[in-house]
Amino acid sequence: MAEYVPPLRDIRFVLEEIGDISALTKLEPFQHLDPDTVFGVLEEGGRFMAEVMSPLNRVGDTVGSRLNDDGSVTTPPGFQEAYRQYVEAGWPAVGSPQEFGGGGFPWLVVIPLQEMFNAANLGFSLGPMLTHGVIDLLTLHGNAEQQVTYLQKLVTGEWGGTMELTESEAGSDVGALRTRAVPADDGTWRISGQKIFITYGEHDLTDNIIHLVLARLSDAPPGTKGISCFIVPKYLVNADGSLGAPNDVRCVSIEHKMGIHASPTCVMSYGDEGGAVGYLIGEPNRGMRYMFTMMNSARIAVGLQGMAVAERAYQAALSYAQERRQGRVIGGTSTEPAPIVEHPDVRRMLLTMKAYIEAMRCVLYTNAVSIDLAHHHSDPEVRQTRQELVELLTPVSKAWSTDLAVEITSLALQVYGGMGYVEEAGVAQYYRDSRIGPIYEGTNGIQAMDLVGRKLPLRGGGVVNDYLSQIDALDSELASGGEELASVRANLAAAAGALRGATNWIFEHGLADPNDALAGATPYLRMFGLVTGGWLLARSALAATRLLTEGRGSKEFLEEKIATAQFYAEQLLPQAAALGGAVTAGAKVLYKVDLSHAVPG
**Does some domain include residue 60?**
no
Number of domains in the chain: 1
**Does some domain include residue 469?**
yes
* Per-residue pLDDT, 171: 66
What 3-state DSSP class applies to 163?
Answer: strand
Dihedral sign of CA atoms 197, 199, 203, 206 in order:
negative
Whether residue 457 contacts residue 517, with contact meaning beta carbons closer than 8 Å, is answered with no
Q: What is d(CA 398, CA 218) in angstroms, rounded to the nearest whole number?
A: 35
The CB-based long-range contact list for 499-504 (8 Å cut-off, 24+ gap) reads 499/468, 499/527, 499/528, 499/531, 499/576, 500/468, 501/580, 502/527, 502/579, 502/580, 502/583, 502/584, 503/456, 503/464, 503/465, 503/468
Segments forming the whole domain that contains residue 500: 443-589
Q: Tell me: the pLDDT tens digits for 13-44?
A: 999 999 999 999 999 999 999 999 999 999 99
- Selection from 188, 285, 172, 174 nearest residue 244 by Cα: 188
Residues constituting the chain: 601
- CB within 8 Å of 461: residues ≥ 6 apart: 507
* Per-residue pLDDT, 174: 72
- Selection from 185, 237, 187 nearest residue 211 by Cα: 237
Residues assigned a catalytic role = 441
What 3-state DSSP class applies to 601?
Answer: coil
What's the count of helices (H) and strands (E) in the chain, helices before strands? 21, 12
* Per-residue pLDDT, 317: 98
- CB within 8 Å of 177: residues ≥ 6 apart: 165, 167, 169, 170, 193, 214, 215, 216, 227
**Does some domain include residue 528?**
yes
Neighbouring CB atoms inside 10 A of 98's CB total 13
* Per-residue pLDDT, 329: 84
**Does some domain include residue 447?**
yes
* Per-residue pLDDT, 332: 76
Going from the C-alpha of 386 to that of each of 161, 233, 380, 458, 475, the distances in angstroms are 29, 36, 10, 13, 22
Q: What is d(CA 51, CA 45) in angstroms, rounded to the nearest whole number?
A: 10
**Does some domain include residue 477?**
yes
Going from the C-alpha of 273 to that of each of 68, 177, 198, 250, the distances in angstroms are 20, 21, 21, 10
**Does some domain include residue 495?**
yes
User: What's phi and psi for 66, nearest 5 deg?
Assistant: -135, 145
Task: Provide the β-strand partners of residue 267.
Answer: 253
Whether residue 220 contacts residue 226, with contact meaning beta carbons closer than 8 Å, is answered with yes
What 3-state DSSP class applies to 341?
Answer: helix
* Per-residue pLDDT, 328: 85
What's at 139, amino acid-wise?
A: T
Weakly modelled stretches of the chain, pLDDT under 70: 1, 170-171
**Does some domain include residue 80?**
no
Whether residue 565 contacts residue 530, with contact meaning beta carbons closer than 8 Å, is answered with no
**Does some domain include residue 424?**
no
Q: What is the dihedral of CA 427, 398, 7, 467, to 10 degrees?
A: 140
Q: Tell me: the pLDDT tens digits for 161-215?
A: 999 998 887 667 777 789 999 999 999 999 999 999 999 999 999 999 999 999 9
